[in-house]
Chains A and B, each alone.
Chain A
Amino acid sequence: MPFSHRRAAYGLPALIAVSALSLAACSSGSSSPDSSSSGETTDAMEPVELSFLVDNTETSVGVVNALTAAYTAEHPNVTFAVEERPGGGDGDNIVKTRLQTGEMSDLFFYNSGSLFQALAPTRTLLPIDDLPNAGAIQDTFKAGVTADGSLYGVPAGTAMGGGVMYNIPMYEELGLEVPTSWDEFMDNNQAILDAGKVPVIQTFADTWTSQLFVLGDFANVLKADPEWADKYTANEAKYADGSPAIDGFVHQQEVYEAGYLNEDFASATFADGVRMVAQGEGAHYPMLTFALAEVIANSPDNVDDVGFFALPGASTDSPLTTWLGAGIYAPNTTEHADVVKDFMNFVATPEACDIQTEAVGAQGPYFVDGCTLPDDVPQMVADMLPYFDANNTGPALEFVSPIKGPALEQITVEVGSGIRTAEDGAALYDQDVEKQAQQLGLEGW
C-alpha cells in the first residue's frame, strides 16, 4: 500500500485554489530564493546526523535520498540516516505513535492536507514560519500544511491528478479518441471489449486502488454543485442523495456489470495494474498520476505508451481532480532545530525542485516559486498539464472537507465487484463517515 491519500482522516476546511498550480509550472520565478541562506545556523561546523523517516514508495525514497545527498554535498558536516516505513494505515500508526511518544525522527515525510491535520500539528510539530524561503512556497500548498495560522511543512514532490491512465498504442490501433464525458468513455470501453481486449483494469488486492472512481470523480461533483463540499461537511448533503455525488459509485457498478473488468480484478495488485496498462494488457486504469514512478521503475520501455485523462463525468470537458503533494516536517522534539530548518529552507528552492526532477522524473507541477519542468516530460505529465493551464481542475474532497470515512475502500471493492449496489454502497458510506465527523467534533452531526 504505497499511498495513503485514500484514507484521509481529517480535513482542511479551506477551499484550495488548485488552479494556481498552473502558475507553478510555468512562472520563471522572479523572486527565486537563495538556497544557501543558512541564516543563523551557528553550529555549522559541528558534525550533525539527522534522522529522516520516509514511506517506502519508489518516489518518496527517491526524492528524500536525492535531497539529503545534495544537502550533505553542500554542508559536509550534516549527514542523514534515512529510515523507511510502510505506507497506508500502518504508516499512519507509526507516525502518530512516534509523534505522541516523542520518538519521531528529526525530519519526516508525510501527506499534506487532511492526514497532516490528524497529527495535531500545533502540539507535535516544529513551526517554520520564520523560514527565509517560506514566501516562495505557493499558498495552495501552504494551506495544506498550515494549522492555526502556523506553517509546518515544505513541499516535497509535485501536484498529482486522479484520473484514468490509458494505453496509447491500443487507442491508436482502435482509432479511439480521448473521452471527455462518461458516455464517450463507455463507448470506448465497448469498442475495446469488442476488439477482444480488457477495457478497464481494477486491482482489489490493494484495496485503496478501488476508490478512484469515487474520489477521482470529485471535480465533476464540484463542477455540478460548487457548494457540495461545504454542505457535506455541514451534514446537509449525502452521497446517497443522488447525482452528482453518487455518480462515482454508479459508474463503478456500471463498469463491473458491463463486464469491462480484467478477469483477475479481485486478486491483482497495484503493481499488476500499472504493468497491465503500460504494456497494453488493458486499456484504462483509474489511478493517481504518482503511478508514473511505478511505470518508470518497472516498465521503463513503455513510459511514453501511457497517457492520462481526467475521470469523465456527466458533462463534456470533465475537469481533473487534483491532490497536493506530500510535505517534509520536523517534530518539535528535534534537538537540531536550526539545522533542520536550514534543510527545510533548502527544500523550498528551485534548485531542490531540479534535484527531485533529476532523481524521480518530472511528475507534475511543483509548489515552489521559480521551479520549472523540463521540456520533455513523460506523456502522462504532458497530458495532465493542459488541465492546469486551462484552469479545468478541482481539488479532491479530502482537501476541502475534513470528512472521510475509513471504510470507503472496502465499500468500493464491494460495489466494484458486484457484492453491493451503488445506492447501497453510498448509503453505507454515509453511515461510515458519521463516526469521523463525530470524532472531529463537527457541528451538526
Chain B
Amino acid sequence: MTDTLPRTQATPPEPESPTARTRRDKKRSPYPMWFYLPAAIIYGVLFVAPTFASFYFALTRWTIFDSEFIGLDNFVTFFSEPYLFQSLIHTLLYAVITSGLKVVLGLLFAVFLSSQIIARGYLRSVVFFPVLVSAVGVGVTFRVLMDPFDGLINNVLAGVGIDGPGWLTDPDLALFSVAFVDVWAGVGIATLIYIAGIVAIPQEYFEAAKVDGASAVKSFRHVTLPLMRPATTTVIILSLIGGLRSFALIWTMTGGGPGFSSDVLASMVYKQYQAGFYGLSTAGNVVLFVLVAAIVIPLFWFLNRKEVDR
C-alpha cells in the first residue's frame, strides 16, 4: 500500500473506472484466484475429504464392503478397554519425554556447536546425521544393539562389569528405551533450529552484556535464552506433535510390546486396522487428531502470546 491510497479513499466517493479497479486488483495479486485450483483439488480430495469422512466412519462398524452406523460405540470401546486407554497414557508420556529432552539437549548442543570449537562443522553434521536415517532403519539397528544378550550395548556394559537390563524386553523399560532412541534420532532437528536462532541474535547484545560485566552463564541466562523463545516454541511444537503421533520407531523396535507395555495410540490404531476393525481404528485416529489439536493449539497460542507480551 502506498501512502497516497488512504488519501484517495478519504476523498468523496466517486464511481471508479473499471480500468482503475483492474489496476488495483492487479497490484494486489498478479495471478487469478483459480491458479489455486489444482492445489486445492489435490488438498481437498486427498486430505480434507478423507479427514471428514473419517469423522463419519469413526461412528460406524465398518467391514470390507459395508458400514453400519453405531453411534459412539467405538469411542466407548476405546475408552473402556484397559490397554486401549493405556496406549493413550503412553502416548502422552512418550511425547512429553521426547519433547522435553529434545528441548534441553537441543539447546545445549546448539550453544556448544555455535561457540568457537575445533571441528565445529564436522560435529554439527554428526549431530544432524541421525535425522537423515529413516526411522525404520534406526529402529531395526537399535533393536539389534539393544538385544539383552547379543546386543552391543549390553556387551559393552558387561565389559565394565554391569549387568545390562533387557532394554526392549523389560515391560517397565521398553517405552523409555524407545523414547531415548527417538531423542537420539530427532535431536538434530532441534539443534539445527536452535543454532539458527543463536546465530540470528545480534552480536551487539553480547558485547553490551560483556561491557556490563556479565559472565558467560549470565549472558546465556539473560540474553540467549529470552531471545531463543521463538526457536523454543518451534522445537516444542514440532517435537510434541512428532511424539504424539510417533509410530515407525515404536513399531520396528518393540511392536508395542512386550505385551502392551510400549503401545501408543498410533500403534494401537494400526493393530486394530490389521485386525479388520476399521471403524474402531478410525475412532482411534480421531482421538489422536483431537488429542494433538487439544494439546498443540492452546500450547501454540500460549507460547506465542508470551512472545508478544515480552
Contact = CB atoms under 8 A, between A and B. Distances in A.
A432 B257 CA distance: 17
B274 A89 contact: yes
Interface residues on A, range: 35 or more
A93 B68 CA distance: 21
A431 B77 CA distance: 10
B189 to A, nearest CB: 29
B148 A406 contact: no
A9 interface: yes
20 contacts: A90-B274, A100-B64, A119-B64, A123-B65, A204-B169, A204-B257, A204-B258, A263-B149, A264-B148, A264-B149, A406-B272, A406-B275, A406-B277, A410-B83, A410-B259, A413-B258, A414-B260, A417-B258, A431-B81, A435-B275
B166 interface: yes
Contacts of B261: 419
Interface of A: 7, 9, 89-90, 92-93, 96, 100, 118-120, 123, 204, 207, 263-264, 266-267, 406-407, 410-411, 413-414, 417, 419-420, 428, 431-432, 435-436, 438-439, 441
A92 B63 contact: no
A267 B64 contact: no
B256 interface: yes
A417 B148 CA distance: 15
Given A90-B274, A96-B276, A204-B169, 20 more contacts: A7-B274, A7-B275, A93-B273, A100-B64, A120-B63, A120-B64, A207-B255, A266-B148, A266-B166, A266-B258, A267-B169, A406-B271, A406-B272, A410-B256, A410-B257, A413-B258, A417-B259, A432-B81, A438-B61, A439-B276
Given A435-B280, A436-B275, A266 B169 contact: yes
Interface of B: 61, 63-65, 68, 77, 81-83, 147-149, 166, 168-169, 171, 255-261, 271-277, 280
Considering residues A90, A263, A406, A441, which has the most beta carbons from chain B within 10 angstroms of its beta carbon?
Answer: A406
Contacts of A431: 81
Contact of B258 (A9, A123, A419): A419
A267 B168 contact: yes
A266 B147 CA distance: 10
A92 B276 CA distance: 9
A267 B171 CA distance: 12
A410 B260 contact: yes
Contacts of A407: 83, 260, 271
Given A120-B64, A431-B81, A413 B276 contact: no
Contacts of A419: 171, 258-259, 261
A436 B63 CA distance: 11
Considering residues B81, B275, B277, which has the most beta carbons from chain A within 10 angstroms of its beta carbon?
Answer: B275
A282 to B, nearest CB: 15
Given A96-B64, A100-B64, A118-B276, A267 B259 contact: no
B238 to A, nearest CB: 29
A201 B201 CA distance: 61
A439 B147 CA distance: 38
B63 A439 contact: yes
Contact of A413 (B63, B257, B277): B257
Q: For the complex of A and B, list the 8 residue pairs with the smallest distance between their C-beta atoms, beginning with the closest.
A: A406-B275, A266-B169, A414-B259, A89-B274, A264-B149, A410-B259, A120-B64, A413-B259
